[in-house]
Chain A
Amino acid sequence: MLSNYLPILIYLAVATGVGVALLVIGALIGRYFTRYPDDVEKRSAYECGFEAFEDSRRRFDVRYYLVAILFIVFDLEIAFLFPWAVALDAIGSAGLVAMGIFLAILVVGFAYEWKKGALEWD
């Protein structure tokens, strides 16, 4: 039984090997084949050839998270709906009812978030 896991072990070894090798090769080439070992331009952020406008680590409004999380909920619903629509012939009325229950629960959540004002920006 345990021998079935041999491919996974090999995969782990290869993945680790490749990961380490890339880092080591990069570091070695960088150390021995470079003309300018240390340079301001090398250490600055690369942004399509011009100066970076600002630091990437800046604060932004927490409301983006709310919008993002609400979006994910209803976006994933599509991931269920497409295969369901394709397979509707095979799953019949039971599938129709099951999806109806699923959507009804989502509608409850939608009504709740709407009424709570989660969809309003201000």
Chain B
Amino acid sequence: MPDTQNWWSTIAPAAPEMYLATVICVILLIDVFAGGSRRPRLTGTLTLIALAVGAWVTLEYGSVGGRTPLFGGLYIADPLALVLKLSALLYVAVALLYSRPALARRGTGGEYHVLALTALLGIYVLASAGNLLSLYIGVELLALSLYAMIAFDRESPVSAEAAMKYFVLGSIASGMLLYGISLVYGLTGTLALDEVALRLTAEPSLGMVAGVAFVVVAIAFKFGAVPFHMWVPDVYHGAPTTVTLFLSTAPKFAYFALAYRLLSQGLDGISPTWTQMLAIIGVLSLIVGNVFAIAQANLKRMLAYSAIANVGFILLGFTTGTAAGYSAALYYTIVYVLATLGAFGVILLASRRGFEADELEDYKGLQARDPMLALWMMMMMFSTAGVPPFVGFWAKLAIFEALWQVGAVWLIVIGALAAVVGAFYYIRVVKLMYFDDAPSAPRGEASGALRLVLGVNALATLALGVVPASLFDLCKAVLG
């Protein structure tokens, strides 16, 4: 049937999304009819298998030579989308793997995995959005899944508070985004991002500046950048650690896609407007995140402030308004999320039934109790702090290099100073683990296989640091 062949080839690049949507429905039904309390691990296993197949589907159908618009430009398949999707999928899979013991301990229902998959679908849609509407649908699909995941531990008041805060602030952010989008739409008369880019006037009107401001506020809200960061520490702290792990990793790619598609592609013509806003937000994030992280006694809270600070770096990459800056920001996102994934993985693997290893105190003398876990944690901390030869160093260097090319020396100075302040609290964790006396804390009960995955995660930060070129060249190529 040549006609069917032809029809399929016009929508084939969107196969990963169709696959995910189908798999979500199937797994939900399997969970409710065959899983549940009878086979509590079934849904988790199925989800991991589905993600493995999903990686193949994404690679097979999502790889298109150049920029391929589908569905009248609503959906765009390009190499950037492929990289974002594959990274998000990999990180979701590893995050769910790390979460397995903790989820089994708490007896979490199979819906947790289904929500993780819908969040991933949201990331996929966002990564490929070519229209303001598909962009918004992706944002909402991701956000709604995350609200429900944070509220999953519904017996815990802290968790409910975190979910409420995230829900209220997230809704405000979505409202801001919609309002900004409506202004952009009103002033350009189109929803397609390509068309918006064409119809921009060199000198933006007052309404357009207002629209851009609302959009930037929404992006800062979603990323958790200062001054829209209030939810980050409470949500990271209050949510179950498995959810914090999820929340702090894969969605960052979605927000990168949101910022890139909306600002760098759609509103490229008036980049001076938003680069100034992002520079202020980025600098504030760097300062506030790093300074407040020092005062935290809880590791999840500390990593939350660390997330704020690192988002500052990602936004600094965007302030350049150049392809070099965007690729540095993409590189930074991939690298930072890799180390965060491992750090939260350590928290999960160091915990056991009735004991959550989320206070800094719990890490005193970890080296004596569990030398392997301490070594992995040290590598994550060094990478996030930007100590060579770990990959975090190259990520910071890439951002600085991009800033240097546009002559933003003052941003480099602030970034470097913030990185020095940040190094203090990352290395303090290492000091606690290696040089302090061990209280008699219980040892984590994670299986050997998970420790191995965590080891691969940690060694990846080292290996990518020793050979940084291939990943960085990839980031450059997809944004060139």
Interface residues of chain A, those whose CB is within 8 Å of chain B, are 1-2, 5, 104-105, 108, 111-112, 115-116
Shortest CB-to-CB span from B53 to chain A, Å, is 19
Of A5, A104, A112, A115, which is in contact with the most chain B CB atoms at under 10 Å from its CB? A112
Which of chain B's residues have a CB closer than 8 A to the CB of A112? Answer: 28-29, 32
- Give the nearest-CB partner of A114 in chain B: B32
Closest-CB distance, A120 to chain B (whole angstroms): 15
Interface residues on B, range: 10 to 19
From B25, B187, B205, A108 is in contact (CB under 8 Å) with B25
Q: For the complex, is B202 an interface residue (Cβ under 8 Å from A)?
A: no
Which residues of B come within 8 Å of A, CB atoms?
21, 25, 28-29, 32-33, 187, 205-207
Instruction: Please indicate the chain A residues that have their CB under 8 angstroms from the CB of B207 in the complex.
Output: 1-2, 5
Task: For the complex, give the distance between the alpha carbons of A2 and B29 in Å.
Answer: 52
Kindly state the separation between the CA atoms of A108 and B33 in the bound complex, as whole angstroms: 12
Report the bound CA distance from A105 to B25 in whole Å.
7
When A1-B187, A105-B25, A108-B25 are in contact, do A116 and B32 touch as well, CB less than 8 Å? Answer: yes
| Minimum CB–CB distance for B180 against chain A, Å | 16
- Closest A residue to B25 using CB positions: A108
Question: Is the pair B206, A108 in contact by a Cβ cutoff of 8 Å?
Answer: no
Which secondary structure characterizes the binding site on chain B?
helix
Q: How far does the alpha carbon of A40 sit from the alpha carbon of B21 in the complex, in Å? A: 61
The answer to whether B28 touches A2 (Cβ under 8 A) is no
Chain B hits for A1, CB < 8 A: 187, 205, 207
A72 to chain B, nearest CB (A): 15
Contact present for B205 and A111 (CB under 8 Å): no
The residue among B32, B33, B207 with the most chain A CB atoms within 10 A of its own CB is B32
* B3 vs chain A, min Cβ distance (A): 12
Contacts of B32 in A (CB 8 A): 111-112, 115-116
Tell me how far the C-beta of A105 lies from the nearest C-beta in chain B, rounded to whole angstroms.
6
- Give chain A nearest CB distance to B185 CB in angstroms: 13
Between-chain CB contacts (< 8 Å), 21 pairs: A1-B187, A1-B205, A1-B207, A2-B205, A2-B206, A2-B207, A5-B207, A104-B25, A105-B21, A105-B25, A108-B25, A108-B28, A108-B29, A111-B29, A111-B32, A112-B28, A112-B29, A112-B32, A115-B32, A115-B33, A116-B32
State the CA gap A1–B207 with chains docked (Å).
9
Closest to B188 in A: A1
Which B residues are in CB contact (< 8 Å) with A5?
A: 207
Q: Which residues of A sit under 8 angstroms from B25, Cβ to Cβ?
A: 104-105, 108
Q: How far is the CB of B79 from chain A (nearest CB, A)?
A: 28
A99 CB, nearest partner CB in chain B, Å? 16
Cα–Cα, bound, A118→B295 (Å): 46
Would you give the shortest CB distance from A97 to chain B, in whole angstroms?
A: 11
A69 to B: closest C-beta gap in Å = 13
In the complex, what residues of A have CB within 8 A of residue B28's CB? 108, 112
| B186: min CB distance to chain A, Å | 8
- Kindly list 4 other residue pairs between chains A and B, CB separation below 8 angstroms, not including A5-B207, A108-B25, A112-B28: A105-B21, A108-B28, A108-B29, A112-B32
Nearest chain B residue, comparing its CB with the CB of A107: B25
3 closest Cβ contacts across the A-B interface? Answer: A108-B25, A115-B32, A112-B32
B324 → A minimal CB distance (Å): 34
Q: How far is the CA of A1 from the CA of B21 in the complex (A)?
A: 41
Q: Nearest chain-A residue to B201 (Cβ)? A: A1
CA distance A5 to B207 in the complex (A): 10
Report the bound CA distance from A105 to B32 in whole Å: 15
**A82 → chain B closest CB, angstroms:** 23
Q: Which residue of B lies closest to A115 (CB)?
A: B32
* Bound Cα distance A2, B33 (Å): 57
CA distance A112 to B43 in the complex (A): 14
- Minimum C-beta distance from A42 to chain B (A): 38
Q: How far is the CA of A108 from the CA of B206 in the complex (A)?
A: 47
Q: What A residues does B205 contact at CB under 8 A? A: 1-2
Residues in A whose Cβ lies below 8 Å from that of B21: 105
Residue in chain B with minimal CB distance to A113? B32
What is the minimal beta-carbon distance from B219 to any residue of chain A, in angstroms? Answer: 24
